[in-house]
Amino acid sequence: MTKVWFITGSSRGLGRSLTEAVLAKGDKVAATARNTEALNDLVEKYPGQIYPVSLDVTHYHDVYRAVTDVITHFGRIDVLVNNAGFGITGAAEAYTDEQVRSQLETNLYAPIEITRAVLPHMRKQRSGRILQISSIGGRVGNPGVSIYQAAKFGLGGFSEALAKEVAPLGIKVTCVEPGGFRTDWAGASMTYAPKVAGYETTVDKRAEIFTSGKFIPMGDPDKAAKVMIDLVESPETPVHLVLGSEAISMLKQADAARQAEMEKWMPVSISTDHDEAENFLETKMGKAFYGPKK
């Protein structure tokens, strides 16, 4: 069955690779971009399959207009891919108010709002796939990208909760978490906070890697696109899908460190339970809320 995809940020990077792969497969794409002229070659190559939609994802009132427009044009949306976003590097204290807002508006609020706009249609269909393009930076915190990662951690939490919420409706949600991929994320699309003293060994080192041109990511966006298409076709989907060996290595180290920290501080954690907590866990309400007693 031919599927209808709604892909944001489709004119460049991973979004472009995915849009091309989906069209080559024979599916239809509502391709959103700030500049739809960048999609003209695909319109010529795949007439009738691609529907360019001019959209700034931070203009939330336009999001609902775009979703309604696509439903009118194609009749349905089977797959939503929230891909639009950009990175920023700097010390947490150094970002301007506008930089903080733009990160959260683009990388967190926008995918939440677009998801909310599409969900009623998928709920009526009793089917749908939602791919949230996050980052390994939504699972592992690193110096220099605190605001970007705040947005991605938020997107991961939203997606994990949403997956449980919509599962009975036939809708599946996956948070895709790539490591470094050979797009312009760390190049032309990267922005920077004003530099401040004191972060020479942490933030400044990361910024230097990006600006030096020596940062060569390991990931192939075309291979990532194929994985996402296969994912949509699969009856079984993960809630979190990490992409790239570099990202896997980072996550393994972070998970081991978190586990060790939790074990070390567990006596302190448990010491804060109310004296009645033990009895509450045995009640019907306690079991329903927390699950079986471990």
If pLDDT is split at 50, 70 and 90, which confidence band does 208 have? confident
In the set 10, 11, 17, 134, the catalytic residue is 134
- Mean pLDDT, the chain, rounded, equals 90
**Does the pLDDT at position 215 exceed 70?**
no
The arithmetic mean of pLDDT across residues 198-222, rounded, is: 79
DSSP assignment of 175-187 equals: EEEE--BSSSTTT
189 compared with 71, residue with greater pLDDT: 71
Residue 66 Rama label (left phi>0; alpha psi -120 to 50; beta) = alpha
The arithmetic mean of pLDDT across residues 251-270, rounded, is: 94
**Does the pLDDT at position 185 exceed 60?**
no
Sign of CA pseudo-dihedral 61, 64, 67, 71 = negative
Q: Examine the residue annotation and report whether 226 is marked as an active-site residue of this protein.
A: no
The pLDDT tens digits of the residues spanning 268-289 come to: 998 888 877 777 666 666 666 6
Give the angle subtended at the CA of 7 by the CAs of 146 and 176, to the nearest 5°.
45
Burial of residue 92 (number of CB atoms within 10 Å: 0-12, 13-18, 19+): middle
59 compared with 221, residue with greater pLDDT: 59
The pLDDT tens digits of the residues spanning 38-97 come to: 999 999 999 999 999 999 999 999 999 999 999 999 999 999 999 998 889 999 999 999
Q: Examine the residue annotation and report whether 134 is marked as an active-site residue of this protein.
A: yes
d(Cα 69, Cα 53) in Å, to the nearest integer? 9
- Going by C-alpha positions, the residue among 83, 269, 284 that lies closest to residue 178 is 83
Q: Examine the residue annotation and report whether 290 is marked as an active-site residue of this protein.
A: no
Give the CATH number of domain 4-243: 3.40.50.720
Token digits of residue 214: 């020596």
- The number of angstroms, rounded, from the C-alpha of 237 to the middle of its chain's C-alpha atoms is 15
Asked whether the beta carbons of 57 and 31 are under 8 A apart, the reply is no
**Does the pLDDT at position 21 exceed 60?**
yes
Return the amino acid letter for 17. Answer: S
pLDDT at 272: 87
In the set 135, 152, 159, 199, the catalytic residue is 152
d(Cα 258, Cα 294) in Å, to the nearest integer? 20
210 compared with 41, residue with greater pLDDT: 41
The pLDDT tens digits of the residues spanning 138-160 come to: 999 998 999 999 999 999 999 99
pLDDT at 77: 98
**Does the pLDDT at position 187 exceed 60?**
no
Whats the size of the chain, residue-wise?
294
- The number of angstroms, rounded, from the C-alpha of 256 to the middle of its chain's C-alpha atoms is 23
